[in-house]
Amino acid sequence: MSTPTIDSTPIEHSGPQAPKGAVKGGLLDPKMLLKSLPDAVRKLDPRTLWRNPVMFIVEVGAVWSTILAFVEPSWFAWLIVVWLWLTVIFANLAEAVAEGRGKAQADTLRKAKTDMVARRLTGWAPNVAGTEEEVAAPQLAQGDFVVVEAGQTIPGDGDVVEGIASVDESAITGESAPVIRESGGDRSAVTGGTTVLSDRIVVKITQKPGESFIDRMIALVEGANRQKTPNEIALNILLAALTLIFVFAVATLQPLAIFSKANNPGVPDSLALNGDGISGIVMVSLLVCLIPTTIGALLSAIGIAGMDRLVQRNVLAMSGRAVEAAGDVNVLLLDKTGTITLGNRQASDFVPLPDVTPEQLADAAQLSSLADETPEGRSIVVYAKQEFGLRARTPGELDGAEWVEFTAMTRMSGVNLTDGHQLRKGATNSVAEWIRSNGGSVPNALGAVVDEISAAGGTPLAVGEVRNGTATVLGVIHLKDVVKQGMRERFDEMRKMGIRTVMITGDNPLTAKAIADEAGVDDFLAEATPEDKLALIKREQEGGKLVAMTGDGTNDAPALAQADVGVAMNTGTSAAKEAGNMVDLDSDPTKLIEIVEIGKQLLITRGALTTFSIANDIAKYFAIIPALFVTLFPGLDLLNVMRLHSPQSAILSAVIFNAVVIIALIPLSLRGVRYTPASASKLLSRNLLIYGVGGIVAPFVGIKLIDLVIQFLPGMS
């Protein structure tokens, strides 16, 4: 990760790109502001705005100030009124822009949802064709069976119950490469709106009408179903409490002002302070500047943007609560295969037995693997070429050779050459039995090498030959799970974040420990069953931990449902996707790490802007309080450290800055504060230093600059 710097740069990642048509994060686009402006104006409706208590108070104050400006019109009064209304509109604009980004993505997704006609099968059952009828796709119900052939669009979410087909899911994932969907197993789930490219499949519909995957995705990215998260609700309560406190604080200034003015009859009336105390417009201005309007305006946008950042990475969060929970995760459960390792064992070494040269073993290993189409067999051929310079031969080059393909029964592959030379490669027991059946003996050295490789967590494959009627064992191929590059560094980052990583694998404990040590995970669960996963999650949660995990199979569904953050793979079963609270459209298990980082970025952005907003008040005190009472108490002029032009310009400058800073911070709220792995105390210190100090300094600079500009306006004397 890059060094800690505070700006609006998003989390660095190297993963799948956003869906086609997705709006990517960037500096605020003026066109987006203009496009979102009508929505911002519509949000002025008090029935909508009351859900945001801070901005609701600002709107009430703007209405009251407008009435006062009509009663006692002045340049100062109308300028204050204009900027109070702009403050509310800017706050609504932040939320409207965030929602607008989601709507742009929803428009792209909606293109995949057209008026389709489904070929429903009545009376279908395995080995029974059923009767076909055409119906509108929205009329499909759970349990219906439909047939889809090449070139046709799948009419609804479901599971393949017959056949196998290549499916284009680019409308959902943005990835052009087709995927294979087949009946049975964990790759049977299909999504409505995707297109079958080849063959024919029968799909059992699992959705309810209007509740398809695309329907839910459109509603979620548009923000229609976004509910406030517990953290957001708690922060809203805090902001409401602070607002109430400042309402009482400002209200108590009025009797103080009336009393002080009555006891100083020689002090002339001013626009801010007269015989009736503080003017209503000035009181509203003071209240609006002191309450935490900045974070109140941006809070909703931050939450929407968090879900938007996940959608840009092709992850659909079923609720904002899931995104927030990702930021608080303490334990990360990761599958070994495909997540931590490449997924297939790879050849890593050739160990010859005594009196056998490495080159001789490599040549035999490569020849005996040419008929082995498994990933392990392919890796042996490649390893022999790379490490020993052997040309990658093909079976067709050896005329008259009899090739022995690898099968699960024999657990061996090999070749019988025309000169009677025979080669075999496979499981040590199978090769040893083949050697004995050809009159040879198995040397004791073989057992020692096999035990050493097994102890290191690898898989040993023996290589044997029959030459001139003599059967011998040449050596052993060391296969090992290859840990993905950079995984140890990623886990080190997780550790800095206070997250404990646990590797889940079906391997034996010895192999699991070897992989865990190499990858750098904190713990592992070997020979894991669905019950073991569920028990582990419950045990961690009972200890007060929040757990995140990924899964794609029906057997993962209980654990996904139990986990605080359950990320289901889009290629997985419907049961897995229903159980999880997130779906990864790219089906990339390593993305769970990015999801956690995005969740933490959301929480840190919210905390940073809250700190900045509250720190702003200090500078506003120095701008407004001296301006209000300097005529009564000349000594307060010492607090006018900014040397503002006049009480009127000081108050208006504070109100303008209060509004403009909302617009200035919209890009940061949408893209988020850059997150770098660190302990909670270090992150807190960093936020206090940069956003706390910055929140104090920025208003001093901003208000002074605004004062220099507006001091020449009418009514600013």
Residues that constitute the known binding site: 372, 376, 406-413, 425, 552, 556
Q: How many CB atoms lie within 10 A of CB 64?
A: 16
Long-range contacts of 122-128 (CB under 8 A, 24+ apart): 124/202, 126/161, 126/162
72 half-sphere exposure, CB direction, 13 A CA radius = 12
Give the Cα separation of 36 and 305 in Å (integer): 15
Question: Angle at Cα 524 formed by Cα 571 and Cα 528, nearest 5°?
Answer: 55
Q: SS3 for 523? A: strand
Q: Report the DSSP pairing between strands 200-205 and 131-136.
A: unpaired
Helix (H) or strand (E) segment spanning residue 460:
strand 459-467
For residue 228 the two structure tokens come to 């406030």
551 half-sphere exposure, CB direction, 13 A CA radius = 31
Give the Cα separation of 374 and 361 in Å (integer): 20
Q: What are phi and psi of 292, to 5 degrees?
A: -75, 70
Which positions ≥6 away from 52 have C-beta within 8 Å? Answer: 91, 236, 296, 299, 300
β-bridge partners, 334: 503
Do residues 574 and 189 make contact, with C-beta atoms less than 8 angstroms apart? yes
> Which residues participate in the annotated binding site for Mg(2+)?
552, 556
What are the CA-CA distances from residue 116 to residues 208, 357, 520, 610 (Å)? 16, 66, 50, 48
Is 588 an active-site residue? no
Burial 237-269 (b: 16+ CB within 10 A, else e): eebbebbeebeeebeebeeebbeebeeeeebee
What are the CA-CA distances from residue 322 to residues 253, 325, 600 (Å)? 44, 5, 12
HEC secondary structure over 601-664: HHHHHHHHHHHHHHHHHHHHHHHHHHHHHCCCCHHHHHHCCCCCCCHHHHHHHHHHHHHHHHHH
For residue 712 the two structure tokens come to 């020449």
Do residues 583 and 157 make contact, with C-beta atoms less than 8 angstroms apart? no
Extended beta strands in 468-581, E state: 470-483, 500-504, 523-525, 547-551, 565-569
Helix (H) or strand (E) segment spanning residue 538:
helix 530-542
Question: Angle at Cα 252 formed by Cα 251 and Cα 258, nearest 5°?
Answer: 100
> Which residues participate in the annotated binding site for ATP?
372, 376, 406-413, 425
Give the Cα separation of 637 and 45 in Å (integer): 41
For residue 150 the two structure tokens come to 């090449």
Catalytic option among 144, 157, 335, 564: 335
Give the Cα separation of 155 and 146 in Å (integer): 8
What positions carry a catalytic annotation?
A: 335
